Amino acid sequence: MCAMLSSVYAIDDIIRDLKDTRTNESLVMAKTIETLHNEKNYSEKVIRAAYDLCEEETGETLPSCLMHAIHVQKLLDDHKLHICTFDFLVGVVAECAIECFEHYNVRCLECVGKPIPNLINCVKNGPDMYANED
């Protein structure tokens, strides 16, 4: 599996690796990935991120890992803004509640602004708990 050794590869490499394993499950997963990418407009980013999550899997466990990982990555891709905004709001409430309600002053607004860089980073790279490190 040559593509697994490199962090940069194309969907065609992923499909080739799956077909090379020659199990029924891998062949079905290869066809599924082709369909998701070509007909359902799943981005290469989503499929590659899922493949990265499953790089330790081999043989019979790889297709089931990919199936789950593609689902998770697609949800993250589609709802990243919602997840990041919710995380930002929870952070603001948790961090700023005491400051704002005990000492209603300008420091309250400063506190609300502190997590904004985290929000921007989250939207750019994905939520921390799911972000792939390149």
Q: How many domains does the chain have?
A: 1
The answer as to whether 134 is a domain residue is no
Look up the domain containing 70 and give its range. 2-125
- End-to-end Cα spacing for the chain: 20
The answer as to whether 133 is a domain residue is no
The DSSP line for 74-118 is: HHHHHHHHHHHHHHHHHHHHHHHHHHHHHS-SHHHHHHHHTTHHH
Give residue 22's pLDDT: 84
| Closest C-alpha to 81, from 117, 43, 119 | 119
**The pLDDT of residue 19 is above 60:** yes
The answer as to whether 130 is a domain residue is no
Mean predicted confidence (pLDDT) in 52-71: 87
The answer as to whether 132 is a domain residue is no
Asked if 26 and 70 count as a contact pair (C-beta separation under 8 A), the reply is no
Tell me the average pLDDT of the chain.
Answer: 83
The answer as to whether 38 is a domain residue is yes
Give residue 3's pLDDT: 42
**The pLDDT of residue 129 is above 80:** no
pTM above 0.85, yes or no: no
- Angle of helix 116-125 relative to helix 61-102, nearest 10 degrees, comes to 170
CA 43 to chain centre: 12
More confident residue, 128 or 1: 128
| Rg of the chain taking only CA atoms, in angstroms | 20
Q: Which pLDDT band holds residue 131 (cuts at 50, 70, 90)?
A: low
Residues 6+ apart with CB under 8 A from 126: 76, 80, 132
The answer as to whether 23 is a domain residue is yes
Give residue 130's pLDDT: 60
The answer as to whether 104 is a domain residue is yes
State how far the Cα of 132 lies from the Cα of 52, in Å rounded to an integer: 8
Most trustworthy range by pLDDT among 58-62, 76-80, 99-103: 76-80
Task: Give the range among 55-59, 91-95, 107-111 with minimum mean pLDDT.
Answer: 107-111
